[in-house]
């Protein structure tokens, strides 16, 4: 009897204790969520405000600030007037094209150039390799901001001889990319035609693939050739915003770190099959290293899309200016319309936010792998 009551009491005690524990857990979880949501508001409110203000009538942008209406669009007054004003005041399409073209070429060419350099540093034996690695690691510290002024002087004085050298280099890069894509696209053409295409048709298709993928570099090279012939300063061109930033010590370092982790067995097998270094790079290393390519691509995309200081210094007209520098126009040219400013800000931000949301897993991965360091 006595033992029965005891065990009953014990059981109810245990039950009560568990209820308390569960309540504590629930409260703790609710508090964590409340805290995280409050923080989330702090991180989002400027962005939400900007997106909402972009589609409000200009006079409401400031009038709504005193209340929570700053964050909520009023459906009855939604308007695209700000967006139209942006198009009326700046050549938005041109600025957007400039930004996309510059970012795209810098990232693509950078992936190619830096990964090749890292390949030679990590896989090929040559005199001065250790020294070169040391130089590249120490160059990581030098910020662009520190060399911007002398660099501006340098590109302004760029003589014909140096122009020729750089143009030849770009030509060589384009040819390398042609070879690489030609190589790889043979397989794609086989996939497309089921391996049954007659040789001339397959070659034609391969040539088209190659030309399209290498297109940005081809355009850039042709513009450089034109400039070398015409002469004149580098300032206010596309290549002044692209060429200095293609090779980048930190990207080379990231590639290098990844490549030395790839087992040597893979390339040894390819060597036995008679493949040369470039073939091993392109057909063994690149396919094995997709994560690091994604990492560098995303980090560099964020960096060049947001580039401000150098384009501001090196460009003078909206023919070659990117979107970030275009923002200056709204702040300096009267009348200052905050609605248009928010419209412009939203138009620049929305595409990137969409890309970010679509590939956010990759974004997060790339940032975390940039910090992996012994």
Partner 1 sequence: MAILMGGPAFLLLGLFMIWPVIRGIDLSRTNQRFDGAQAAAVGWSNYDKILSVNVIRLPDIPDPLPEQAPTAGWYRSNDGELIFRWRARGLEEIGLGQYADYEIARQFSIGGNQYAVIAKDPLFWKSLLNNFYFALIVVPVQTGLALLLALLINQKLPYRNVFRTVYFSPVATAMVIIAVVWLFLYNPQFGLINQMLDFISGGKLGPYQWLQSSSMAMPAIMVMSIWQGVGFQMVIFLAGLQDIPEDLYEASGIDGANAWQKFRFVTLPMLRNTTIFVVLTTTILAFRLFDQVNVMTPDGGPNQSTATMVWYAIRRGWGQSEVGYASAVSIVFVGIVLIISLIQRGVIRSDTAE
Q: Is 258 in the site for partner 1 (CB under 8 A)?
A: no
Among 6, 26, 208, 309, binds partner 1 (CB under 8 A): 309
- The site string for partner 1 over 54-73 (x = CB under 8 A, - otherwise) reads --------x--xx---x---
Which of these segments, 19-27, 147-155, 187-195, 217-225, binds partner 1 (CB under 8 A)? Answer: 147-155
- The site string for partner 1 over 209-238 (x = CB under 8 A, - otherwise) reads ------------------------------
Q: Is 149 in the site for partner 1 (CB under 8 A)?
A: yes
d(CA 248, CA 256): 12
Closest distance between partner 1 and the C-beta of residue 186, in Å?
Answer: 21
Token readout for 356 is 């970010």
Q: Is 172 in the site for partner 1 (CB under 8 A)?
A: yes
Q: Is 126 in the site for partner 1 (CB under 8 A)?
A: yes
Closest distance between partner 1 and the C-beta of residue 15, in Å?
Answer: 25
Closest distance between partner 1 and the C-beta of residue 308, in Å?
Answer: 5
Site for partner 1 in 264-303 (CB under 8 A): 276-278, 281, 302
Q: Is 349 in the site for partner 1 (CB under 8 A)?
A: yes
E strand or H helix at 209: helix 199-213
Q: Is 111 in the site for partner 1 (CB under 8 A)?
A: no
User: What region does 366 belong to: left with phi over 0, alpha with psi -120 to 50, or beta?
Assistant: alpha
Q: At a CB cut-off of 8 Å and minimum separation 6, what does 163 contact? A: 224, 227, 228
Q: Is 368 in the site for partner 1 (CB under 8 A)?
A: yes
Q: Is 151 in the site for partner 1 (CB under 8 A)?
A: yes
d(CA 25, CA 116): 53
**What is the CA 295 to chain-centroid distance, rounded?**
9
What phi and psi values does residue 177 have, to the nearest 5 degrees? -65, -35
C-beta of 252 vs 292, nearer to partner 1: 252
Closest distance between partner 1 and the C-beta of residue 12, in Å?
Answer: 28
d(CA 250, CA 374): 15
Q: Which residues of 200-217 are buried (b: 16+ CB within 10 A; e: fewer)?
A: eebeebbeebbeebbebb
Closest distance between partner 1 and the C-beta of residue 82, in Å?
Answer: 13
Site for partner 1 in 8-27 (CB under 8 A): none
Residue 339 near residue 57 (C-beta atoms within 8 A): yes
Which of these segments, 1-9, 207-215, 264-272, 352-360, binds partner 1 (CB under 8 A)? Answer: 352-360
Instruction: Please enumerate, as own/partner, the contacts of 82-85 that have beta carbons within 8 Å and a separation of 24 or more.
Output: 82/54, 82/55, 82/56, 82/58, 82/337, 82/339, 82/340, 82/342, 82/343, 83/54, 83/55, 83/343, 83/347, 85/58, 85/337, 85/339, 85/340, 85/343
Q: Is 246 in the site for partner 1 (CB under 8 A)?
A: yes
Q: Is 356 in the site for partner 1 (CB under 8 A)?
A: yes
Q: Is 244 in the site for partner 1 (CB under 8 A)?
A: yes
Binding-site size, partner 1 (CB under 8 A): 95
Could you write out the DSSP letters of every residue in 47-96? HHHHHHHHTS-HHHHHHGGGSGGGGS--GGG---HHHHHHHHHS-HHHHH
Q: Is 171 in the site for partner 1 (CB under 8 A)?
A: no
Among 305, 320, 321, 343, binds partner 1 (CB under 8 A): 305
Among 14, 20, 44, 78, binds partner 1 (CB under 8 A): 44
Q: Is 106 in the site for partner 1 (CB under 8 A)?
A: no
d(CA 238, CA 242): 7
């Amino acid at each position: 009897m006595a033992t029965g009551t005891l065990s009953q009491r014990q059981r109810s005690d245990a039950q009560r204790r568990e209820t308390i524990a569960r309540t504590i857990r629930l409260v703790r979880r609710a508090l964590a969520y409340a805290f995280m949501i409050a923080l989330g508001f702090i991180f989002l409110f400027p962005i939400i405000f900007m997106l909402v203000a972009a589609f409000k009538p200009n006079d409401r942008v400031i009038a709504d600030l005193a209340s929570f209406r700053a964050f909520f669009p009023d459906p009855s007054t939604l308007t695209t007037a700000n967006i139209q004003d942006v198009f009326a005041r700046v050549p938005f399409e041109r600025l957007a094209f400039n930004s996309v073209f510059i970012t795209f070429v810098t990232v693509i060419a950078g992936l190619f150039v830096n990964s090749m350099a890292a390949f030679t540093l990590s896989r090929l034996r040559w005199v001065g390799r250790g020294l070169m690695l040391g130089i590249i690691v120490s160059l990581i510290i030098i910020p662009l901001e520190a060399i911007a002024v002398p660099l501006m002087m340098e590109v302004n004085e760029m003589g014909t001889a140096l122009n020729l050298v750089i143009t030849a280099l770009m030509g060589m890069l384009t040819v390398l990319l042609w070879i690489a894509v030609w190589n790889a696209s043979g397989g794609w053409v086989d996939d497309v035609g089921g391996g049954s295409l007659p040789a001339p048709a397959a070659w034609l298709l391969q040539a088209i693939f190659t030309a399209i993928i290498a297109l940005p570099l081809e355009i850039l090279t042709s513009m450089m050739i034109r400039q070398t012939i015409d002469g004149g300063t580098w300032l206010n061109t596309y290549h002044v915003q692209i060429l200095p930033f293609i090779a980048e010590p930190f990207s080379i370092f990231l590639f290098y770190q990844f490549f030395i982790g790839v087992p040597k067995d893979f390339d040894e097998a390819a060597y036995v099959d008679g493949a040369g270094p470039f073939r091993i790079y392109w057909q063994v290393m690149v396919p094995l290293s997709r994560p690091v390519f994604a990492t560098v691509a995303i980090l560099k995309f964020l960096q060049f899309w947001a580039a401000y200081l150098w384009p501001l210094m090196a460009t003078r007209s909206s023919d070659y200016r990117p979107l970030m520098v275009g923002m200056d126009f709204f702040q300096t040219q009267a009348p200052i319309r905050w609605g248009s400013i928010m419209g412009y800000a939203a138009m620049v931000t929305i595409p990137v936010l969409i890309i970010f949301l679509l590939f956010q897993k990759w974004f997060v991965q790339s940032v975390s792998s940039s910090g992996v360091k012994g």
